[in-house]
Structure formats: C-alpha cells, structure tokens
Structure 1
C-alpha cells in the first residue's frame, strides 16, 4: 500500500527454482546467470540478491514474505512458466502458485503456464480455468526440442486451438513473454507482429505483453494504439526507472502518448528481482522536462501512477479494489506490517526475511 492508501498490485510474481539440480538443458545455467546479471544491471546494489540466495529453489514462504513484508505490494498475480525443456520443473512451477494462492486467497491471482505443443494443451486450459479458477494463461514464444529452437508465435497453427479455448471459456487474459530473448532463441520470435494478429483474431481476449517497452518500443506502442485488448506489462522494464531513467522515460512516455495510461500494469518480477525498488522509483519518477517538451509526453501524475501500480491490474483481473481492501484488512500480513511499522521496519530490508541459506 502506498503512503496515500492506494493499493499496489504486482502483476507478475514467480517462485523461481535456480538450483543446480533443476537444470535440464545445456543452456539452462546460462539462463540463470543472465537473469542474475540482469538484476545486477537494473536494481540498486542493496536490492541485488546475494548469489547464495539467488541460486537456489525459492520457497513459497519466502516469496510471500518478500512481497508482503519487504515491499508495499498488497496483491499479486503469480505466473507459472512452461519451460520444462530447460528446467525440470519449468523454472516456476504451477504447484507453488497454487500453494501461494491457497495460503493467501484474498491477495493472489494466477496465470497458469500452457505449452501448446502438449497433446492435451486444450484440455489443460479447460481444466485449469474450470477446476482451478485461474484468471489467465501464460505462453512463451519459443521452445527447445530435439536440439532446435522452435517458434510458437500466437498466429501459428499450434497455438490457435489454445486461444480458441481461452475465448470460449472467457479467460481474462493471455500473458505472452516478449522483448527479452533467452538462451539461443532467435530475436525475431520476441517481436510483436503475432500479438497484433492474435488481437485482431480474438477481440474478446486481452493480450498482456510481458516486459513491454524493454525493446521493440515502436511496435509495442502502435499495437497498443491500434488494439484496445493489448496491455503493456512492465515486468523488468519498470526497474529501468532505477537504473536507466531516460530509457524508461521514453518507453513510458511513448506508451502514454499513443495509448494512454489505462493499459499499463506494474510488475516487480519477484523472486528474480525485488519489487520495492521499482515501486519507490516509479512513485518518484518524472519524465525529464526536455523529453516532455520535445515529444509531447504527458506529465506522469499521481493519478497515472496509481493506475499503473494497481488500478489497471485490478480492472484487468476483474477484481473490485474496494472489496480486496476489505478482504485483506486485518489479515496476518496487515498485522505483521503494523507490527513492523511500530518499530520502523516496514518495508523490511531487502532479502532480510529470507531463510538463511544452508
């Protein structure tokens, strides 16, 4: 919760498993290393994991303490990841997400990973939507099988049945990883043209583009301007408010100029990144005057910041923020927060609530 009482929604949290025994593919260690290095580049030094904390199997208990004690996040949307071609458990398991939601039903939503190449992918969508009440699904634009990187664009035949089932079931949103290539997958898989095709073909679905604005900015803002069902999810991107403020100013400014403030959502990227630095930096963020004057970017008002940090995500998830506020009032996390406020220890220091590595 912000100091003015506005609720904060972290639109992507993960419970990563970076442990050595989880590595499956020869490039999996490279993926882990690149993720750690990205955190070093994007965050203030005190928010960077100690390496012994990062390279391990993160627990649900650690994630919830990270979100609700070490940051101002009030509500989160957990994304499991379908990367079992690289990691034995997919890197971010479904099971941890359901455990997190079961432990915190008033504070957690979930997008479940789907691999369209699975023979039962369509059946999985139906099961997880109907039986497990997930709000959305999470897709990746590439896979690795039989020694080759494979394209899984939203406009390809393998993916269409999954999107059709999502549309039939009134799924809230389809989250698609874009903009940040991984391992050896070609950069072209991470561009935006397939998102526009899918947005046209399935106007009843929302497409939440993860890491929006990190790269391919012009493609992103034109897609958002042309399609009201395309959302920008700022996972990783928003951390540039800490480390590369002028690049972030351009990304945010172009989104606001072309598409307005109502389809941009905050994501902290836990447990790979720490959400609090991004929350604080974004709340204090202003687009430099020379960039505003030269590009007609709007001023980033407190109203816009509240939309990005929470209101837009609640609307996308179909949640009433006032009901969420009522439901979490006085719960265990609010009680723990109040205890820490009284001792001046909220938010807690980064990674201080984590279990001590063995």
Structure 2
C-alpha cells in the first residue's frame, strides 16, 4: 500500500523455473542467462538476485513472500507462460499459478497461457475462462517447432479465430508479449502492429501490451491513442525508472501525452526481478523539466501515480478498491506486515525471505 493509502497492484508476477532440468530448446540456457543479465542491468544495487536465488524452480510461497513482505504490493496478477517449446513446464507453469490463487484468493487473479498452435486451444480458452480467479488469457507472438521460428501475430489465420473464442468467453482481456526478441525469433514477430487490427475488430476485448515502452514505443502509443481498449503494461519497463530514468521518462511521457494516465498499469516481473524498487521509483518520479519543456510531456501527478501503481489495474480487473482492502485486512500477510512495520523492517530486505535457513520470515513461521 502506498503512503497515501492507495493499493499497489502488480499486474505481472510469475513463478519462474530457471533450472537446467527445465530446458528443452537448445537456447533455453541462453534465455535464462539473458534474463538474469537483464535484471542486473535494470535493478539498482542491493536488489539484483544472487545466482542461488535466481537459478531455481520458484514456488508459490516464495512469490507470495516476495510480493507481500518484501514490497508494498497488495494484489497481483499471476501470468503463466506458454513456452513449452523452450521449457518443459512452459517456463512459468499453470499449476503453480492455480496453487498461488488457491493460497491467496483475495490477493490475486490469473492470466492463463494459451498456445494457439494446439488443436484444442479454443476449448482451453473456454475451460480456463470459467475458472475462479482467471481474468485474462496470455499469448506469445512467436513459437519454435520442428527447428523453425513461427510467427503467431494476432492477425495470423491460426490465431484470429481464438480472439473470437476469447470474446465469447467469460474473460475480457488478452495480454500479448511485445518485447525484445527471444532465442532466434526475428524482431518483426514482436512488433505491436497486429494489436490495432485486433483492438478495432474486437472493441469489447481489452488488449494489454506487455513490456510496453521498453521496445516499439511509437507504435505502442499510437495504438493506445487510437483504441481505448489498448493498455500499456509496464513489466520490465517500470524498472527503468531507477537505472535508466531518461528512457523511462520518455516512454511514460509519450504514453501520457498521447493516451493519458488511465490505461497504464504497473508490473514488477517477479520472480525474475524484484518489484519494490520500481514502486518507489514511480512514486518519487518527476518528469524532467527539459522533457516537459522540449517534448511537452505533462507533469506526473500523485493521482496519476496512484492510477498507474494500482487503480487502473483494479478497474481493468473489475475490482472495487475498498472491497479489496476489506478482503485483505487482517489476513496472514497483513498481520505479518504489521509485525514488520512495528519493528521498522517493512518492506523486508531484498530476497531475505528466500533463505529459509536464515530468514525469520520463512513460510513455517
């Protein structure tokens, strides 16, 4: 929770599996290593995980402690990932996501991964959309099969019918990864050009561009400006606020200039990244004067920050902030936070709750 009393919502969290046993694609180790190296560039000193913490099969209890004890996050959206052509469990398994939901029903929702190339992908959408806590579907724009990288843009013949199935289902949001390419897939697979066609054809669906502003900022903001059902999800991008503040300022400034503050949602990217530094960075952020004068970017108000750090995500999920506050008041994490606040130790030190042998905040306490 922010010092103003507004809720903090992390719109993307994961239980990654960075173990060698999970590797399926010849570039899986490279993917793990590049993810670790990206975190080392994006996170400030003291928040970069050790190799011991990073290269493991992260579990739901670890994620909960990271979010609810080591950061100000009150509510999160767990994203499972459909990358079973690269990793045996898809990199972030559905099973751990549903376990996390079961353990934290008042503090979490879930976007479920779907692989459009599977014959029963449409049936999966309908099945998962009916499950409690599932609020969205997650796609990736490329796959790897039979030695080839395959494009899965939303406009592909294999993908478009699935948008119709989502539109007819009990969820109303599709999240799509748009970022730097992974493994050997070409850059063109990752541009957000296809989002506009989909947003125009399915006006009742919301489209979250994941990692918005890290890459393809011009295409992203113009899609947001033209379609009020396109949202910017700041996973990874939010971390730039501390380590590359001018790049973050330009990305946020363009979004605010073209689309305003109501469709930008914060995401931390746990467990690959620590979620607390970008929360503090955004809360303390001020648009640089040279960018306000030279680019006509607006001032970022406290109201804007409260929307970005939680309010917009709750509205997208259809959650009433006051009801969420009532639902989590006095729960396990609220009690443990209060104990830490009394000792001045909340949020807990980065990654401290991961070491069950030395931490006083282990799951068994």
Q: Which residue pairs with 2:361 in the alignment?
A: none
Q: What secondary structure does 1:11 align onto?
A: strand
Structure 2 length normalisation: TM-score? 0.97
1:112 match? 112
Aligned to 1:226: 226
The aligned counterpart of 2:247 is: 247
Distance, in Å, in 1 between the alignment partners of 2:310 and 2:199 is 24
**Structure 2: segments with no counterpart, 5+ residues:** 358-365
1:93 aligns with 2:93: yes
Q: Which moved more, 1:110-119 or 1:160-169?
A: 160-169
> Which TM-score applies when normalising by structure 1?
0.98
User: Is the partner of 1:46 in helix, strand or coil?
Assistant: coil
8 Å contact from structure 1 (residues 176, 209) kept in 2: yes
In structure 1, the residue matched to 2:68 is 68
**Residues 275/131 of structure 1: CA separation in 2 closer, same or farther (3 Å cut):** closer
Cα deviation code 1:301-335 (max 9, x no counterpart)? 11000000000000001111110001001111000
* C-alpha distance in 2 between matches for 1:190 and 1:106: 34
Residue 12 of structure 2 aligns to a residue whose secondary structure is strand
Instruction: Give distance in 2, aligned partners of 1:295 and 1:44.
Output: 27
1:200-246 residue CA offsets vs partner (Å, 9 max, x unmatched): 11111000000000011111110000001100000000100010000
TM-superposed CA distance for 1:261, in Å, is: 0.2
How far has the Cα of 1:180 moved from its partner? 2.0
1:142 is matched with: 142
Aligned-partner Cα distance in 1 for 2:76–2:144: 29
- Contact map agreement 2:101 2:133 (CA 8 A) in 1: no
Residue 20 of structure 1 is matched in structure 2 by 20
Whole-angstrom CA distance in 1 between matches of 2:68 and 2:130: 29
Farther-moved stretch of structure 1 (32-41 vs 162-171): 162-171
4+ residue stretches of structure 1 with deviation over 6 A?
none
1:47 is paired with a residue of what secondary structure?
coil
Partner Cα distance (1:133, 1:145) in 2: 31
Is the CA contact 1:172–1:317 (under 8 Å) kept in the aligned structure 2? no
The residue number in structure 2 matching 1:49 is 49
Rounded Cα–Cα distance in structure 1 between residues aligned with 2:44 and 2:197: 38
- The alpha-carbon distance between structure 1 residues 125 and 81, as it changes in their structure 2 partners (threshold 3 A), is same
Match of 1:38 in 2: 38
| CA apart distance, 1:179 | 2.1
Matches within 5 A, 1:314-353: 314-353=314-353
Q: Is the 8 A contact 2:11 2:265 kept in 1?
A: yes
Residue matched to 2:363: none
Q: 2: CA distance between counterparts of 1:306 and 1:331?
A: 23
Which 5+ residue runs of structure 1 have no aligned equivalent?
A: none
Deviation at 1:132, TM superposition (A): 4.5
Give the number of equivalent residue pairs. Answer: 358
CA offsets 1:114-144 (integer angstroms, 9 cap, x no match):
0000010000001001145511000000000
Contact 2:130 2:170 in 1 (8 A): no
